[in-house]
Every structure is written in C-alpha cells, then in structure tokens.
Amino acid sequence: MKLKFTKMHGLGNDFVVLDGVRQNITLTPAQLRFLADRNFGVGCDQILLVEKPGQAGVDFRYRIFNADGSEVEQCGNGARCFVRFVHEQGLTDKREIKVETKSGIISPRLEADGNVTVDMGKPIFSPDRIPFVSPTDAVIQPLQVGDQEVAITAVSMGNPHAVQVVADVDTAPVAIQGPMIESHPRFPQRVNAGFLQVVDRHSVRLRVYERGAGETLACGTGACAAVVAGISRDLLDSPVRVSTRGGELSIAWNGPGTPVHMTGPAVTVFSGEIEL
Ligand SMILES: N[C@H](CCC[C@H](N)C(=O)O)C(=O)O
C-alpha cells in the first residue's frame, strides 16, 4: 500500500501526519512502529491520524500513536501541527476547529502570527482521574524510584503525567529515572515523566521522558501538566513560559475547573510517500 504522509514538528517533537479523510488508513502496531523507526522507516515521536469526526458539531477526529505503536489519549504539540496540516491540505478553511480525541474535544486555533493556540481542556489530578478539588489537594505523592524516593504530582491532561520538581533539568537523572517512572506499577497505563525546574514564578525549564517514545525535545501535554502542577503547588503564576530543549511554549491556566491554554509553533518539514 502506498501511503502519503507529511512530516511535521512542534518544537522538535516530531510527527508523521496521515490524512485518513482522503485515504482509507488502518495500520497495525508493527506498521506504526515501522513508520516511526528512525533507521528503517520515516522516523518520528508520534504518528497523527486525521479522520472524519465521529460526532456532530466537531470538525475532525484525531488519533495519536506513540513510536512504540501504542494509541494514546492526547498530544499537545501534535494538536498544533494538526490544525496547520488540515489547513495546508485544504481539508478546512476554518482557523479554529473542534477536534475529537480519545480523551475529549480540544480546540486548536491558527493565530495571525503563525503560532497556534490550543484549548487543551481541564486538567485532572492523578491518572486515577481523581477530580481536582483545590490547590491544597494537588496530589503530591512519594514515589519509590529505584533507591530514590521522589515527590511527584500526578496530573492528567487526558494522558497521564508524573511531574517532579528538580534543581536543574540539565543534571536531572532523566535517562535513569525516566524509564523507571514510565513503567512504574503505580501507573497501570504507564506515564509520561516530567522534570520541572522553576526559574521564577512565570518561567520554567522542562524535560519530559515520554511514555512510548522516550525523551523528546518538547512535550505539549507535559508542559501543560507541569504548569498545572507548579501553580497548584503555589510555585508558579499564570501565564508561564516553558523552555524545552526544542524551544518555548506559553501555558495559561486560571485554576481548578478551567481549561489549560497552550501557545506555540507548528512546522511542516516535507511530504512524501512510503510503501507499507
Ligand atoms: N507520549 C504521550 C503522547 C504524546 C504527547 C506529547 N508528544 C505532547 O506533545 O503532548 C503519551 O503517551 O501520553
């Protein structure tokens, strides 16, 4: 099967984007892993599949697959690339669209300056989806990681995140603790592991060891989860500039019961075809 694809990235978190509206696409986990393979395939952190919506009042459905072939609930950098893709492909002329994901509806908007703002929906504390009640209820919990006990805040942006505060992201044990937290028994669906350095109340540095992909240059939902965790622990005030290895995101959140808004770039690199 010849498959058309477009290679995109959001701050270096890179994607193979597939038009499942004009192409009938069903991919096995092995085919997904092949597409994501940086030596034998195209290479990416996630595959994004654009489909017709499954419900009224929504413009598209958006399915997200990690490089390991697992399907997940949400992808923030991908949402920004998604809206640029459907616009560039002529699948819509709207600048703001409603998109159905596995974890709910998000609304990405193409800004005049070329950036994209996404209403990422409301955060939920702890991947057990325990509803967030008040700042003091932010779930700060000890997690035994090898011979270390780390204090994490569990936040769901539709997908699960375990965020810990570190003194310096450059020296944080991301390569060691990342995989151990990702597959920790505390998180039966596995988890994305965030390492957050507070620079001041409106700026942070962040590294994320992503579930199903390893450390990426940026993680959109990870930036949302880190800012929500930081604000809930009274370390940050909205809006927050999040510096990742791939560049900067701006995240705004006005507290419990309100959605998180993320603003950042989305870049199309090239389009191609691959024989599957
Ligand atoms: N690895 C994530 C999915 C991709 C999220 C990330 N690329 C983003 O920009 O939010 C997970 O398994 O939940």
Cβ-in-10-Å burial (0-12, 13-18, 19+) of 156 comes to buried
Ligand 1 contact via 153 beta carbon (within 6 Å)? no
Q: Whose CA is closest to atom 12 on ligand 1?
A: 211
Ligand 1 contact via 72 beta carbon (within 6 Å)? yes
State in Å: Cα 168 to ligand 1 middle.
23
Q: How far is CA 29 from CA 70, 245, 246, in A?
A: 7, 29, 27
pLDDT tens, per residue, the chain with 276 residues: 899 999 999 999 999 999 999 988 999 999 999 999 999 999 999 999 999 998 999 999 999 999 999 999 999 999 999 999 999 999 999 999 999 999 899 999 999 999 999 999 999 875 444 433 444 445 788 899 999 999 999 899 999 999 999 999 999 999 999 999 999 998 888 999 999 999 999 999 999 999 999 999 999 999 999 999 999 899 999 999 999 999 999 999 999 889 999 999 999 999 999 999
Ligand 1 contact via 13 beta carbon (within 6 Å)? yes
ipTM over 0.95? The verdict is yes
Q: Whose CA is closest to atom 11 on ligand 1?
A: 211
Residue ranges of the annotated binding site for substrate are 13, 46, 66, 76-77, 159, 192, 210-211, 220-221
State in Å: Cα 14 to ligand 1 middle.
11
